[in-house]
Amino acid sequence: MRLPRRRRIPRYVLVLALVAVLCGTGIGLYLNERNSRQQVSVVGNPTAEDWIELDVTAQGVDTSALELSLSVVAIPHGSLAAEPDSLVFTRDVEITSVGLTTSSFHTTPGDVAPLQVVTAGLNNGTPTDYPFDHYDVSAGWVATDQGRPVPLSLTYTDSDPFFLVRPTKSAAGGTVARLDARAGRTRATFILAWFMMAAMWALALAVLGGAEVLARKRQGVVWPALGWMAATLFALVGLRNAAPGGPPIGSLMDYVAFFWAEGIIAASLAVTVALAVRNERRDMAADGSR
């Protein structure tokens, strides 16, 4: 009695299944990072009737200047507001921000507080550690109403596309609101940076392998191969400059992959041309002696 043959799954079905799994994994990672970035953190919880809520949003990390831009919107509560859930102030309140510099602004009775941009410094980090660079961020706010301190609360959100800036600790409700945060590269930046480094090494080793084959065969000038090598040499420069976040020259990424890849490709191209020219001259000399 013959056993029935097992039907083999077509290869295209396996390929489609693999693509579906990879796409599903990517979507899952995206949704996980998207949800984590949209979380709102509340720093401070005043118990007084009259207080001010500071809606703080991290807009952009500038590693070249080592600073973080924060947009701040003051929202009144209690008798400081014209009515419940209103953004209009009823009194002149002075709000002082302390970051890289100290600045103050006054609210206008009967009007909404203007949007303020506060610059906080990036500490304890080095931009050349890209993509593993991390920074500490600190900023504070104080509000007074005719010389009397006003309790503050801080609602924080992060909107920087290249960095995750998350509070490291919460301050108690009181007359001072302080934001202490940690800034680090996003997961997408890590993935793309690692992919770029792997691609640089893969292309460099591919050029090295091609150069070895040409050298072993003792061929003359093979223009398509030389053109591919030269194109790869310059293509890696564009790839490196496309790294998210604009890492400075001399970053860890350069020492791990870019400098080595460029050196291997340049050396392979130069040696291949030198051997090809020698082989061409040898062949020309052999043809001339016939």
C-alpha span between 256 and 136 (Å, rounded):
25
Same domain flag for 258 and 146: no
Residue 137 neighbours by CB under 8 Å, 6+ apart: 68, 120, 121, 122, 123, 165, 179, 180, 181, 182, 183
How many separate domains does the chain show? Answer: 3
- Residues 211-233 pLDDT 10s: 998 888 887 778 888 899 999 99
Using alpha carbons, select from 35, 26, 37 the residue that is nearest to residue 184.
Answer: 37
Both 142 and 202 in one domain: the answer is: no
CA angle 84, 90, 92 (to 5 degrees): 140
Check whether residue 55 and residue 162 sit in a common domain: yes
| Boundary (domain end) residue, out of 185, 218, 243 | 185
Residues 270 and 216 in one domain: yes
Q: What is the largest CA-CA distance in the chain?
A: 106
Residue 2 lies in a domain: no
Q: Is residue 228 part of a domain?
A: yes
Mean of the pLDDT values across residues 262-287? Answer: 85
- Tell me whether strands 51-62 and 152-158 are parallel, antiparallel or unpaired: parallel
d(Cα 139, Cα 181) in Å, to the nearest integer?
9
Structural domain that includes position 119: 40-185
Q: Are residues 142 and 203 in the same domain?
A: no
Q: Both 159 and 227 in a single domain?
A: no
- Residues in a beta bridge with 57: 71, 157
Residue 251 lies in a domain: yes
Domain boundary among 185, 220, 247: 185
Above 80 in pLDDT, residue 240? yes
Tell me the pLDDT tens digit for each residue of 17-70.
Answer: 878 887 787 777 766 666 666 566 666 666 678 888 899 988 889 988 899 999
pTM: 0.78
H or E element in which residue 164 lies: strand 163-169
Whether 57 and 162 share a structural domain? yes
